[in-house]
Amino acid sequence: MELTRQTSPKRAVIKCKAKIRLLADSIVGLMVMPFDDALFLDLAKTLLCADDLNQRYESQKVAREVEDRFASLLVAMYRRIKTQQQNPIVQQLNALL
């Protein structure tokens, strides 16, 4: 009988994977617009409160899949916000503040 070691997804790994993907992204990478670390950390803090990250999984493979899924969500959220910031209408509305 094989012993299984339960493991849980690591928040630091998720943030690292997401940041690497974003910095390598052709749209949101450093060449097009500067990386907004404060925005990234706020999004990560909000997203990484999910219950899925507090669970323990039977295999490391499943925990890594959860990490990848959350990293992808974080990348998508950040990309969407940064892309919308470039919209002229959004810039006009932000100027009103």
**Tens-place pLDDT, residues 40-64:** 999 999 998 888 788 888 889 999 9
pLDDT at 1 over 60: no
Token pair listed for 48: 């990484």
Determine the number of helices (DSSP H) and then strands (DSSP E) in the chain.
Answer: 4, 0
User: What global pTM score does this model have?
Assistant: 0.81
pLDDT at 85 over 70: yes
pLDDT at 3 over 60: no
> Residues near 72 by Cβ (< 8 Å), separated by ≥ 6?
18, 21
Q: How confident is the model at residue 2 (pLDDT cuts 50, 70, 90)?
A: very low
CB 48 within 8 A of CB 70: yes
Between residues 49 and 34, the one the model is more confident about: 49
Annotate 46-69 with DSSP letters as a single string: HHTT-GGGTS-BSSHHHHHHHHHH
Q: How confident is the model at residue 24 (pLDDT cuts 50, 70, 90)?
A: confident
